[in-house]
């Protein structure tokens, strides 16, 4: 009989014994197990872990390679499985696989999730998409996007969690925790301040260390502490002139030094520019190496070792970090089967619908136009292909939806090279019909504004769906709704004052028609069950619970950079906004020192500008009161208050806590320090307790390399959004000096 091949478990046990762990003792740690295995790796086997193949473009790969974003061969003789990577943060995005039946469930955009302010939802959403990745044979999900929205025109804002480091870091951290609850690996990305798409491969982000620590880095630090991601993906851009993937200060000193990050640093696809400098600066792995000028972490790095530029110990440590993460996430003890597993898409769609409904933000609701009452007889539904589906964002995070796209349109401009305008087949029209059987609900495309207006005029209520497609690879040049949608909305509202606007956008948009309409609901890109989620909120099946995770400006002139840096040079002869993945574009600088740490709502407070809608804003179908703000208890960093549902129907509220903190210029500016999220019946009250993370109210002292919190009395407020003050109190805080 053939000698049975030892299972991964048997091999691991053998290695543990070899590593000195005795049977009956405490189980070996991931570090011990990884060291034991790494010590068995030959030099070539170590090197084989340091770069990934791009399976869609490299055919001669081992049989266990599947089409996806990356493939890293394993070491079967040691029970080390190959790593099979796929995008991304809203679902398994694998458009490179041309098999049209390779579908997945898309969560709503990360902005929508952030707008729910619900950390449990973030976890369950991550757990759902991680389960689909595992079922499809992937063991690495390139999720955990946590870049801050420093520019509301960034084409990838829909993949990010807003403008505030605390909200973004916590939401991304719990999403990563959810993904990895499937014993697969997640990333956190794109390290760091990769905050615009225009010229992302060549721009240099100019920003002081303290401001960076207090914002974009803090978001990563929180996400890493909460989610313990297996890998950090460094981004394309330069920071103060040095590429992110060869940035010794950010990789070795901050990430691995100050924060003690134990996982591996992998590049973004096409973000590596050297061998020895990158390896010595802290990069552990070259992703999709064929996109770079050279397979830097192959022969060039071997040559660097031979030349004594890079030590064999550094190579070994690079391999060790990857193996350690495979143990720490549980993958080694529960390998992902090669054969695809079944997926309960119906149950997963429920998770997506719940997240989308929780993230829809009611921005205006004059005369309680919403929720749509049962007595309505006729409803006009207009625009944005609401009769067939809902919009989604473009680029590497694009999911191929279950049931296939309802519609795919080739965009103009650079994005057409790798993106399609895609509608998911869950139509708001059908969802409304399902929920309002007694009403006559008719659709008009909106291409003929007069016809749409006539339909609106002869209806009790008109609902205009307005859309803004955004994508990885390019930014939007301004915040206006594209095409003639503003005019359409004005025309419809003139025909029927009971007009509701539903926004399906990648971020904030301008609303020149705001005074003419009765209600506005920001639904973002609402995901696989987006039509149902929107209808659930419009009909009051669920309360309007979303609160803005970013500021809606009144105009681009209110922004730190009224024009996107680099945009001008990137407009091609046809006037299309373009940008290049490859080098050859002129290098330029984005000056983030303009706002520094005062991102988003803090910028508006600092400059005294009034936004269209502030960070944290959102209406409910009921009302809430706040009372009994208490500070000064045993723990000086903890406060509490009570929320009461003072209305006539159940609802969900997200009271926010802000503290006025003097910045480096001495001027106190509000910072989000915590929030509660409560669902209450009419008349019901609940106490909310908030424990402040001192890093959110401290300033980073680069000389002392510490977070410094000055002792004294600080004003703390409880409000419905940034700038709002329902309750306020003094809070005495002690002097604190905190390690980075
Ligand atoms: C892309 C993205 C990154 C993605 C990777 C693999 O360019 O920047 O988010 O995970 O490449 O597709």
The Cα 499–Cα 517 span in angstroms is 5
Ligand 1 contacts CB of residue 156 (under 6 A): no
533: phi then psi, degrees, rounded to nearest 5: -65, -45
In ligand 1, the atom with minimum distance to the C-alpha of 288 is 6
Whether residue 569 is predicted with pLDDT greater than 60 in this model: the reply is no
Question: Taking all residues of the chain, what is their mean pLDDT, rounded to a whole number?
Answer: 94
Ligand 1 contacts CB of residue 268 (under 6 A): yes
The Cα 200–Cα 202 span in angstroms is 6
514 C-alpha to ligand 1 centroid (Å): 36
pLDDT tens-digit readout, 259-304: 999 999 999 999 999 999 999 999 999 999 999 999 999 999 999 9
Residue 95 pLDDT level (bands cut at 50, 70, 90): confident
The Cα 58–Cα 287 span in angstroms is 13
The Cα 189–Cα 88 span in angstroms is 10
pLDDT tens-digit readout, 660-702: 999 878 889 999 999 999 999 999 999 999 999 999 999 999 9
Residue 578 pLDDT level (bands cut at 50, 70, 90): low
In ligand 1, the atom with minimum distance to the C-alpha of 190 is 9
pLDDT tens-digit readout, 167-215: 999 999 999 999 999 999 999 999 999 999 988 999 999 999 999 999 9
235 C-alpha to ligand 1 centroid (Å): 9
pLDDT tens-digit readout, 11-52: 555 555 444 445 577 889 999 999 999 999 999 999 999 999
The Cα 368–Cα 364 span in angstroms is 9
Pocket mutation for ligand 1, best pick of 70, 71, 84, 87 (most atoms within 8 Å of C-beta): 87
190 C-alpha to ligand 1 centroid (Å): 9
396 C-alpha to ligand 1 centroid (Å): 6
Taking a C-beta distance cutoff of 8 angstroms, is the pair 370, 451 a contact? no
Gyration radius of the chain's alpha carbons: 26
Catalytic residue, candidates 87, 268, 284, 543: 268
- Confidence (pLDDT) at 570: 58
- Confidence (pLDDT) at 56: 87
Percent over 70 (pLDDT), the chain: 94
Taking a C-beta distance cutoff of 8 angstroms, is the pair 156, 147 a contact? yes
Q: Give the full edge-to-edge strand order of the sheet including 264-267.
A: 70-72, 83-86, 140-141, 185-191, 231-234, 264-267
| Neighbour-count burial of 573, counting CB atoms closer than 10 A to its CB (0-12 exposed, 13-18 middle, 19+ buried) | exposed
More confident residue, 145 or 415: 145
pLDDT tens-digit readout, 450-487: 999 999 999 999 999 999 999 998 899 899 999 999 99
3-state secondary structure of 547: coil
- Mean per-residue pLDDT for 338-366? 97
Taking a C-beta distance cutoff of 8 angstroms, is the pair 153, 605 a contact? no
In ligand 1, the atom with minimum distance to the C-alpha of 159 is 9
Ligand 1 contacts CB of residue 216 (under 6 A): no
268 as an active site residue: the answer is: yes
The Cα 326–Cα 207 span in angstroms is 34
């Amino acid at each position: 009989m053939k000698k049975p091949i030892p299972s991964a478990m048997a091999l691991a046990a053998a290695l543990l014994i070899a590593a000195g762990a005795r049977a009956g003792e405490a189980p070996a740690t991931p570090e011990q197990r990884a060291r034991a295995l790494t010590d068995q790796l030959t030099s070539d086997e170590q090197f084989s872990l340091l770069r990934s193949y791009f399976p869609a473009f490299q055919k001669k790969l081992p049989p266990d390679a599947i089409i996806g974003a990356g493939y890293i061969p394993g070491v079967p003789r040691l029970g080390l499985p190959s790593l099979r990577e796929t995008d991304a943060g809203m679902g398994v995005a694998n458009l490179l696989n041309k098999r049209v039946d390779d579908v997945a469930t898309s969560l709503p955009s990360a902005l929508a999730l952030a707008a729910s302010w619900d950390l449990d939802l973030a976890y369950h959403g991550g757990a759902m998409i991680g389960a689909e990745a595992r079922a499809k044979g992937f063991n690495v999900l390139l999720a955990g996007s946590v870049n801050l929205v420093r520019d509301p025109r960034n084409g990838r804002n829909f993949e990010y969690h807003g403008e505030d480091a605390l909200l973004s870091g916590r939401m991304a951290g719990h999403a990563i925790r959810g993904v990895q609850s499937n014993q697969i690996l997640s990333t956190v990305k794109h390290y760091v301040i990769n905050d615009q798409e225009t010229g992302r491969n060549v721009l240099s982000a100019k920003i002081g260390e303290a401001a960076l620590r207090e914002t974009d880095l803090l978001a990563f630090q929180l996400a890493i502490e909460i989610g313990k991601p297996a890998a950090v993906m460094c981004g394309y851009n330069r920071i103060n002139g040095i590429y992110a993937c060869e940035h010794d200060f950010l990789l070795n000193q901050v990430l691995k030094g100050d924060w003690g990050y134990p996982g591996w640093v992998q590049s973004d696809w096409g973000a590596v520019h050297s061998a020895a400098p990158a390896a010595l600066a802290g990069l552990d792995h070259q992703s999709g190496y064929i996109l770079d000028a050279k397979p830097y972490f192959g022969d060039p790095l071997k040559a660097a070792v031979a030349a004594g530029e890079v030590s064999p110990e550094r190579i070994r440590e690079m391999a060790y970090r990857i193996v350690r993460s495979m143990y720490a996430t549980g993958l080694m003890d529960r390998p992902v089967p090669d054969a695809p597993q079944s997926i309960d898409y119906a149950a997963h769609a429920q998770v997506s619908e719940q997240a989308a409904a929780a993230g829809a933000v009611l921005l205006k609701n004059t005369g309680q136009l919403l929720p749509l009452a049962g007595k309505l007889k006729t409803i006009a539904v207009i625009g944005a292909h609401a009769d067939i589906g809902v919009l989604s964002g473009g680029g590497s995070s694009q999911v191929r939806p279950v049931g296939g796209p309802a519609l795919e349109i080739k965009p103009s401009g650079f994005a057409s090279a790798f993106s399609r305008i895609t509608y998911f087949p869950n139509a708001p029209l059908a969802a409304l019909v399902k929920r309002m059987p007694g009403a006559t609900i008719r659709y008009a495309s909106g291409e003929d504004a007069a016809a749409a207006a006539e339909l609106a005029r002869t209806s009790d209520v008109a609902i205009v769906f307005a859309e803004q497609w955004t994508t990885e690879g390019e930014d939007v040049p301004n915040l206006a709704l594209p095409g003639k949608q503003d005019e359409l909305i004005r025309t419809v509202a003139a025909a029927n004052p009971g007009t509701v606007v539903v926004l399906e956008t990648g971020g904030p948009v301008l609303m020149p028609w705001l005074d003419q309409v009765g209600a506005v609901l920001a639904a973002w890109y609402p995901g696989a069950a987006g039509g149902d989620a929107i209808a659930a909120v419009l009909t009051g099946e669920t309360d309007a619970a979303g609160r803005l995770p970013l500021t809606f400006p009144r105009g681009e002139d209110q922004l730190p950079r009224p024009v996107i840096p680099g945009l001008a040079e990137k407009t091609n002869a046809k006037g299309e906004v373009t940008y290049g993945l490859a080098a050859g574009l002129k290098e330029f600088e984005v000056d983030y020192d303009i706002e520094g740490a005062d991102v988003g709502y803090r910028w508006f407070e600092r400059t005294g500008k009034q936004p269209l809608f502030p960070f944290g804003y959102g209406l409910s179908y009921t009302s809430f009161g706040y009372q009994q703000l208490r500070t000064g208890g045993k723990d000086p960093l903890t406060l509490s208050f009570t929320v009461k549902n003072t209305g006539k129907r159940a609802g969900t509220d997200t009271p926010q806590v802000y503290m006025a903190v003097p910045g480096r210029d001495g001027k106190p500016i509000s910072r989000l320090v915590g929030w509660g999220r409560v669902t209450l019946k009419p008349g019901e009250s609940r106490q909310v307790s908030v424990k402040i993370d001192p890093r959110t109210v401290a300033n980073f002292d680069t000389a002392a390399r510490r977070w410094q919190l000055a002792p004294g009395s600080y004003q703390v407020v409880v409000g419905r959004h940034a700038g709002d003050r329902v309750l306020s109190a003094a809070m005495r805080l002690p002097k604190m000096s905190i390690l980075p």
